[in-house]
Amino acid sequence: MSSDARLEDRDFTAPPIFARLQQRALRVGAVLALAALAGLVAAPRQAMHSYLLAFMLCLGPTLGAMALLMVCHLTGGDWGVGIRRILEAAMGTLPMLAAAFIPIVIGAYLHLNYPWANPEELKHNEHLVHQASRYLNPSLFLARGVLYFIAWGVMAYFLLAWSEAQDRPPERPPDKRFQALSAVGIIIYGWTLTFAVIDWVMSLTPEFTSTIYGLIFMVGQGLIALCLATIVAHRLRSHGPMSEVLTTRSFHDYGKLILTFVMLWAYFSFSQWLIVWSGNLPEEIHWFQDRIKGDWGVMGLALIVGHFAIPFALLLSRGLKQNARKLMWIAVWLILMRYLDLYWNIEPSFDPAELHYRWLDAVLPLAMSALWLGYFLRNLRRRPLVALHDPHLAALLAKQHE
Amino acid sequence: MEHKHPVEAMAGGQGQPPVLQPGYTFATITDKISAIVLTRQTPLGWFVGVGIAGMLSAVLLYAVSFLMYQGVGIWGINHPIGWGLAIVNFVWWIGIGHAGTLISAILLLLRQSWRNSINRFAEAMTIFAVMQAGLFPLLHLGRPWLFYWLFPYPNTMTVWPQFRSPLVWDVFAVSTYFTISLVFWYIGLVPDMATLRDRAQNRAARMIYAVLALGWRGSARHWHRYETAYLLLAGLATPLVLSVHTVVSFDFTIAIVPGWHSTIFPPYFVAGAIYSGFAMVLILAIPIRHIYNLEDMITDRHLDNCAKIMLATGLIVAYGYIMETFMAWYGGNLYDKHLIWNRMHGPYRALYWALIAINVGFVNVLWTKKVRFTPKLLWFVSLVVLVAMWLERFVIVVVSLSQDFLPSSWGIYIPTRWDWATFIGTIGFFALCFLLFIRVMPMISIAEMKSLLPSSEAKAPLESES
């Protein structure tokens, strides 16, 4: 416990560069958002398609961080101590995502994004009318969306509030509340996210159903959150006393976890592909046919190589996992791959015939990510970079010095 | 990822019961475990168990002999239900095996040192369960003596397996699984075989253990090579935990039968396998630790951890059930909807509702500490879970086949006494193998238990290669 007392005197505020980065991110985000707004006026339909991509991209690290945080609390391992504040800051951006959900609902009401909300599509598709009448319609879509955000909001609120309470001395005994909330919370997360991606992404092709779909997105969110945490941890590693918390050993752990998520993503995606392909049923196979034709197929292959083969092969090396700098570059690469995977999942539903990469597909995700990053850095700067009263911190420090 | 140091883990920490009760030394651990095999009087319960298990094994022998003589017509299988209990039992048994591999390989790589006191017998459980599992598809072939036709070997008949069939993938998956599990288990046994060799009074026993110990002398070089081999085998066994039951799930999903063709099957089968496997671990561990007074080594902490893993995987299984039902409703496919209707209201509805009641509802009793820390209750819950998982496979295999696309070819399947005799026979044979194992081999790894002692603290913990 003496190491705690010693640590408390140290300066655990974020480095000044983070303030500059925050300013820059917000500025870039604002400029790009203006450009995107112009795009929205010029081509509203296309803008809504790109917007969904941007929304799903930013949702990843936010909810992924919440899920990872709950896993940390639940398993009580010390691997999460070093990145706990990063995850909390990412989870804290949830209000922005809730606000960002509004345009998607408006898009649904204005028939801009979902086929089941479009009377034109409903006219000559009896099956779709049936689906729309009981599940896929704008009002229920909105109601469910509100429900998901309330569930996530409540969990994020308590995790953050208790965490702030834990920061204030006097020192408390290990807080059992985190564990209790996390046990239930991880289940709530699993269910709500599953139904959210059915609503927001899978329903773009209403006749397509896949029972593993939610799991693929859960893994994707965990992966992008972990990659973000690794990048930020790399930046913090050399900053003052953080070097005692974030050691080679920590990065080795993050590397192993990233490898696990990469393998799980490949396992789930491959299972879905093999089962749908071999079944070859008309209502399912179209989804894949749209995604393996022409340039979409090239993108699919790029995902196999870039999202699985390359990171998998590299991450097998222990030396690489222990090298924070190299691991950081893998994390950057994987965030790009997450973007590509979401693009490949979402956009062919709008544009099955051919891949048309439009400027909004880049600008809108960039704009939202930049704003998200600004918000995230603001959250991160507000509190000490380490949870000094985390019961696992002492154990971690003892081991780092072994 | 948890870096629980052995010593810290042993002490429990955070108010948890310890992994090994304090007060043991290197010598007393060896004494206690080796005595069960070498010097202690065999408990009466063991003889009773062997008697019952032996009789049931005889039933198996009889059922299989008659099957060879008469053919698979003695079973209840028919058109359209060609798979019947044989495949239900195959999936059930092979699933049970998975917990052993997870404990011995994955938990080793994750440095979960609490596994050291249960990995040996859990792995033995895996091997014996896979043996029972392997019997069923072979017997189901109709002409089991031609089983080697499943392997791709050059032959004058130009018969070649259909590599696009998951049934052929199964042959490779299961035989690989059995081989790796056996080798991994045996390599782990080598130092303990040497201990028994050195301690055995009986000359014959000494010679047998000496052969099995492969000349182990316990030199530093031996230990170095042993640990390297052990880690490599753990690395090889780890993907098998996922791949074997994934391939089993492909047996179903690759077909387009409603109720079989569902993308969630691979992870859901793996979770179900681990779920039922941990139930079997508890079913075996709870009486064993009581009969052999091993509560110091297989502590409440182990039971608690196993129960927690059971709960987590049980919730994933429940997720699978609910996703299947939801997607049938959401997608609105006629055949999928009928399948769900048939499960809920058809001739086998009682079995479906029983399994839902247990795997979605009843399993939640594991949230309470009282159940996790009361061995008798936990044993009962595990038994119920094993029954439910058997019912799950019955519902998947039989209900899906009984009413598919053509109403004119719907049917009913009722297992015959030969089906039941074969199934109950394998339970007896499994128990017999297991009882013989705990009589002649150390059921807890002597060598690995010692790494839990405070005196091992100076020794570096096993480093994982991955």
CB contact under 8 A, A209 and B242: no
pLDDT in tens, B406-438: 999 999 999 999 999 999 999 999 999 999 999
Confidence of residue B22 (pLDDT cuts 50, 70, 90): confident
- pLDDT value for A396: 73
Q: What is the pLDDT of residues B319-339, one digit of tens each?
A: 999 999 999 999 988 999 999
Model ipTM over 0.90: yes
Domain B8-465: CATH superfamily, name plus number: Formate dehydrogenase/DMSO reductase domain (1.20.1630.10)
Q: How confident is the model at residue A324 (pLDDT cuts 50, 70, 90)?
A: very high
Residue A271 domain boundaries: 2-400
For the segment B196-210, what is each residue's pLDDT rounded down to a tens digit?
A: 999 999 999 999 999
**Confidence grade of residue A7 (pLDDT, cut at 50, 70, 90):** low
Closest Cβ opposite residue B256 in set A130, A174, A279: A279
What is the pLDDT averaged over residues B36-52?
Answer: 91
- Contact state of B253 with A279 under an 8 Å Cβ cutoff: yes
Question: Which of the four pLDDT bands, split at 50, 70 and 90, describes residue A170?
Answer: low
Q: What is the pTM of this model?
A: 0.93
Q: What is the CA radius of gyration of chain B?
A: 23
Of A215, A276, A399, the CB nearest to B267: A215
Q: How many domains does chain A have?
A: 1
Contact between chains at B315 and A187 (C-beta distance less than 8 A): yes
The domain locations on chain B are 8-465
pLDDT surpassing 50 at residue B4 = no
Q: Pick the residue of A130, A137, A182, A275 with the most B CBs within 10 A to test the interface with B by mutation.
A: A275
- Spell out which residues of chain B touch residue A322, defining contact as CB-CB under 8 Å: none
Cβ-based contacts under 8 A for chains A and B: 95
Q: Is B266 on the interface with A (CB under 8 A)?
A: yes
Q: Is B458 within 8 Å of chain A by CB?
A: no
